[in-house]
Amino acid sequence: MRRILNTLMEIARNVARHKLRSFLTISGITIGVLALTTMGALAENFNALIDGGVAYFGSSVQVGPPDGQSTPILPISKVDEIKKIQGVAAAFPGYTFNAKPGQLNFSFGVADQIVASDPAEAAWGAIRLTYAQGHAIEADSQDQVVLGTTIAKEFSKKVGDTIELPVRPPDAKPDFVSHSFKVVGILNTTRTAPDNFAYINITDGQMLLKDSLPDPIRTSFDVTQVTQAIAVYAKAGTSLDELDRIASRINQQVEGVKALKPSDIVNGFKQGSVVFTGITTAAALLALIIGGLSVVNTMFMAVAERVREIGLKKAVGATTFNVMGEFLLEATFIGLVGGLLGYGLGVAIVVIRNTFFEPADGSTLFLITPTLTIFAIGFATVLGAVAGVLPAWRAARLDPVIALRNE
């Protein structure tokens, strides 16, 4: 233990002895880890959103109108037909509307949406929704809404407040219709799509569907007999392959619908995640590798400046392993210090942005996770160690007699 402490103290003295050079080297690592932390936090936030999509679409079959159909609706009677298909445990009609029609979406992720569904469907979904405030929509209720955490922040709503949905755009036409809903619940943060959703009952969804129809058919069209989509569920634990087979059976046995294979949707999500993560990580690693090259340069300079010191140590019995270990520890120490500083600065930037510069829509852009923490600091430390291998090997191979004679 004493020997280890002495070695660490000597390393600290060597770093302190060459303050400017050490500062520049550690700064290179710090900048690289700062980039890795911020870009990694961006990727982690995006991946959390993607993971939610994978979880939801990997546990259900989405059924909509067939290709080429002019109107995006289905007879609601198709729900009962689909329930009879082998492997189907439950099926629910649903309606989805843009919560802010006519307005551009500047959020990083899912746009604000109004989702009308049967409250019973919540028991089947892969994403379990829990409540920060209030409770779920009552089964036979009207004009009640449960808000995701992001949309609740955006409109500064809490349980007991009312919200007008859809939100009237600034240039709304005279015939634009919105309705007042009472907020009965606010969800806990999921880091995925439900954060941007306003959940209402099926009856209210049908009311909004009627509002969206052209005037000539609005009064004559029975919206209770149609649905925009059907969510189909199998029993818990059903594999993705089996869900694909259920989708195929629905397409074969139920006319006038198109069931999407869950695997196609999941693969699309995963591909987007890989591409985005690759781009952000590559950009950050490039900056970090440049910092690693500065460690190599610094350690070669350290070897050149300490030739006599190395020769003296070897002359009094220091082994090749001792000398190499000392230089490797010094390089690792530089990587660790730079990693801690870079990670700390990155976290500070993320916290400041998420706390004090939250966008008007309430969305988040960065997410710090334990995985990112371990990766950022660990990679910087390992990079420092790897960068020190060649300089350490050169120091260890110095002949003490020649080193002292040259000095």
Tens-place pLDDT, residues 80-114: 999 999 999 999 999 999 999 876 655 556 789 99
Per residue in 298-341, pLDDT tens? 666 666 666 666 666 666 666 767 777 777 887 788 888 888 99
pLDDT at 395: 67
Of 91-95, 146-150, 265-269, 278-282, least confident by mean pLDDT is 278-282
Q: Categorise residue 191: left if φ over 0, alpha if ψ from -120 to 50, beta otherwise.
A: left
pLDDT class for 55, splitting at 50, 70, 90? confident
Q: Is the pTM of this model over 0.85?
A: no
List the chain domain ranges: 2-51+269-406, 60-237
- DSSP H stretches of helix in 260-388: 262-305, 307-315, 320-356, 370-387
Of 74-78, 140-144, 178-182, least confident by mean pLDDT is 140-144
Structure tokens of 362? 């309430």
Per residue in 214-256, pLDDT tens? 777 777 788 999 999 999 999 988 999 999 999 999 999 999 9
pLDDT at 119: 87
Of 114 and 379, which is predicted with more confidence?
114
Is residue 11 pLDDT above 70, yes or no? Answer: no
Is residue 23 pLDDT above 90, yes or no? Answer: no
pLDDT at 186: 97
Structure tokens of 242? 């089996």
Pairing of strands 144-147, 179-187: parallel
Could you give phi then psi for residue 191, rounded to 5 degrees?
65, 20
What is the mean pLDDT of the segment spanning 260-281? 82
pLDDT at 226: 93
Among residues 360, 273, 337, 266, the alpha carbon closest in space to that of 42 is found at 273
Q: Cis ω on the peptide bond leading into residue 166 (within 30° of 0)?
A: yes
